[in-house]
Chains A and B, each alone.
Chain A
Amino acid sequence: MPSAFKKALDSGKFVVTSEVAPSKGTNLEKMAHHVELLKDKVDAMNVTDHQSSVMRFPSLGGALLVKENGGEPILQMTCRDRNRLALQSDLMMASSRGINNVLCLTGDSVMLGDHKAAKGVFDLDSSQLLAAVRTMKGGKDMAGNDLDGDVNFCAGAIVTPEANPIEPQLIKFEKKIESGAEFIQTQAVYEMDNFKRFMDYARQFDVKILAGIILLTSAGMARFMNKNVAGVMVPQRLIDEMASAPKGGALKKGIEITGRMIAQIKEEGICDGVHIMAIGKEEVVPDIMSAAGLI
C-alpha cells in the first residue's frame, strides 16, 4: 500500500515537506512539539540522520516518534555509519513499523562532525542504497535471498541544482532516478531563474521534485552559507534585503522572503512542491507556509 506521502506526490497537489532534527540526548520534548505543530500542515517530515555528522538520537527513532504522534515521516538514511547489512536491517525495521518513506543519502564526511576520529563506512553510495531499497521491495535482500514479509517504501534522493561544476552532479542525479528514486528534494535554491533552468532539464524524468528552501535568519547566515555550504548561493539582492530588516526583524524578513519564493514556485508551477528547512527554527514553518499562502 502506498504511503500517505506517496499518495500526496501522485495526487498532483503542491506537496510540502519539512524536517525535524532528533535531539542530542533522549529528551524528545522539543522534537515532539515540532511534530505536533507540523503534522497536520505538511505532507511529510524528514527526520535527519546525524546531520552534519553530529551524533544524535537516531533518525529511525525520530521517525517512529513522528509516526506515533500522527505524522508522516520520511526517514533520512545516510551510508556514512552503516554497512549494507545494517542498512537493510534498519530498512526492514522501519517498514515493519509503518515508516514507508526513505531519503537515501551518501552522508557527510565524519570529519565535519563531532566524532572526527570515527570510521566513515560508505560501503554503499546513495544510488546503490536506492537500488537496495528497490531490491528489497521486490522481496529479496542484496545477496539475492528471499525476504519473509513485505518491505514497502517510497524512496527519494537529493540533488544540488547550483553545484559547480553541474555536469557530474547531473550524471549522479540520473543514476539515482535509474536506481528507483521516486522523489527528489533539492539542496537550497534561491535564484529562481537558475532553478527554472534546472527544471527545464529535470522535467524529462519521471520523478517528483521538491525545491529545497532554507529559511534565511540573517544576512550573516546567508553570507556564511555562500562561503561554507557546497552548492548554496544566496544572491546579493536577498542578502541586502535581509540586511535592510529593522533591528530584531531579520527572522520576520526571512519568513517573508521564504514565503514569497514558495508562492512563486507554486504559482508558476516550477516544480512539484517544496521542502522547507528552517534549521533550528522549526516552530516558524507554519508562519512560512502562511506567508506563502499555503495555509
Chain B
Amino acid sequence: MIRSITRQKPMNEIEHLLDGMDRIFIIGCGTCTTMTRTGGAEQVAAMSEDLSSRGKVITGTTVVPVACDNLTADILSEYGSRMNQADALLVMSCAYGVQTIGSQLGQMVVPAQNTLFIGKENAAGQFNESCTQCGTCVIGETGGICPVTACHKGLVNGPCGGTNNGKCEIDSNKDCVWTLIYNRLKELGRLDVMRTYKKPRNHLGEPSPGKFDIPAD
C-alpha cells in the first residue's frame, strides 16, 4: 500500500499562514494522515487545543474519510454553517486533500502539513520513497530498484564518490541505492546490466503538469 507521507509544518509557520484569520475550522483525513499520525482525530484535537491557546476561535473540527476524494464536499456539507463562520479551513491532510477541499468549497484553505513523498510501507510503520513518477521508468535495468528516486542525485550509471559503507553521503541512516542495486543484480547473476552505460535521461517523460484522460470507448 502506498501512502502520502506528511510532516506537520512548524507552529510558527501555521500561525503566520493564519495571520489575521481568527476563526478556524480544522479538517483531518481518515486515510494517510491518520495512518502516519499527522492528521488523524488525535492530531486534529491537539491542533484545536493549541490554536485555541494562541487565541484562535475554533468553529469546529472533523476528520473526513478520504480528503482527496471527490465526495469530500458532500461529507463536509453537514458542517456548512460552522465552516462558513470560519475565516479559513486548516486542513491536516496531504496536499492532495487540501487542494480537493479548496476547489470544492470555495473557502480559504491552509495546509497544516508539508507533503514529503508518496511512501511505500516496507515494514510496520516504516515508509520509503521508491518511485517519483518520473515518466521514463528505468527499473528494468536495475533489478527493479529505482535509482532515480532512491539515489539522492538520481544517478543512473552507478554510485557517486560520496557513498560510504553502503550509505548515502547526505545521511548515514539512508542506504546507498547503488549498493542495494549491485547486491540485487549480483544475486540475480545480472551485473551485466549494471555495466551497461545508460544515456542521459529524458527528464520530460510527462512534461509537468501531468495530465491523463481515459480514452473514450
A residues with a Cβ closer than 8 A to B are: 84, 105-109, 111-112, 120, 122-128, 131-132, 142, 158, 160, 163-165, 167-169, 171-172, 174-175, 178-179, 187, 230-231
Check: B126 CB closer than 8 A to any chain A CB.
no
Residues of B within 8 A of A164 (CB): 164-166
Q: Which of A107, A142, A169, A174 is B195 in contact with, Cβ under 8 Å?
A: A174
Give Cα distance in the complex from A172 to B195, angstroms: 8
Within B132-187, the residues touching A (CB, 8 Å) are 152-166, 169-170, 178-179, 181-182, 186
Give Cα distance in the complex from A179 to B194, angstroms: 15
What's the least CB distance linking B172 to chain A, in Å? Answer: 10
Give Cα distance in the complex from A19 to B61, angstroms: 62
Residues of B within 8 A of A128 (CB): 157, 198-200
Q: Are B153 and A125 in contact (CB under 8 A)?
A: yes
Q: Which of A108, A125, A174 is B162 in contact with, Cβ under 8 Å?
A: A108
Residue of A nearest to B161 (CB): A160
Q: Are B169 and A168 in contact (CB under 8 A)?
A: no
Residue of A nearest to B166 (CB): A165
Report B117-137 CB contacts with A as 1/0, cut-off 8 Å. Answer: 000000000000000000000
Within B189-217, the residues touching A (CB, 8 Å) are 191, 194-195, 197-201, 203
Give Cα distance in the complex from A66 to B131, angstroms: 44
| Chain B, interface residues (CB within 8 Å), range | 20 to 34
Q: Are B170 and A168 in contact (CB under 8 A)?
A: no
Q: Are B153 and A230 in contact (CB under 8 A)?
A: no
What's the least CB distance linking A188 to chain B, in Å? Answer: 11
Given contacts A106-B153, A109-B169, A175-B157, 20 further A-B contacts (CB under 8 A): A84-B200, A108-B162, A108-B169, A109-B170, A123-B200, A125-B160, A127-B157, A127-B197, A128-B199, A132-B200, A163-B163, A164-B166, A167-B182, A167-B186, A168-B178, A169-B159, A172-B157, A179-B197, A230-B163, A230-B164
Give Cα distance in the complex from A67 to B71, angstroms: 67
Give Cα distance in the complex from A111 to B169, angstroms: 9
Give Cα distance in the complex from A105 to B161, angstroms: 9
Q: Are B164 and A175 in contact (CB under 8 A)?
A: no
Residue of A nearest to B162 (CB): A230
What's the least CB distance linking A118 to chain B, in Å? Answer: 13
Residues of B within 8 A of A131 (CB): 197, 199
Residues of A within 8 A of B186 (CB): 167
Residues of A within 8 A of B166 (CB): 164-165
Residue of B nearest to A169 (CB): B159
Pull 17 A–B residue pairs with CB atoms less than 8 Å apart, ordered by A.
A108-B162, A108-B169, A109-B169, A122-B154, A123-B200, A123-B201, A123-B203, A125-B153, A127-B157, A127-B158, A127-B197, A128-B157, A131-B199, A142-B200, A168-B158, A171-B182, A230-B163
Q: Are B195 and A171 in contact (CB under 8 A)?
A: yes
Give Cα distance in the complex from A111 to B171, angstroms: 10
Within B87-136, the residues touching A (CB, 8 Å) are none
| Nearest 8 Cβ contacts at the A-B interface | A172-B158, A230-B164, A122-B153, A168-B182, A106-B160, A125-B155, A127-B157, A128-B200
Give Cα distance in the complex from A132 to B191, angstroms: 25
Q: Are B169 and A230 in contact (CB under 8 A)?
A: yes
Give Cα distance in the complex from A160 to B164, angstroms: 11
What's the least CB distance linking B146 to chain A, in Å? Answer: 15
Q: Are B159 and A124 in contact (CB under 8 A)?
A: no
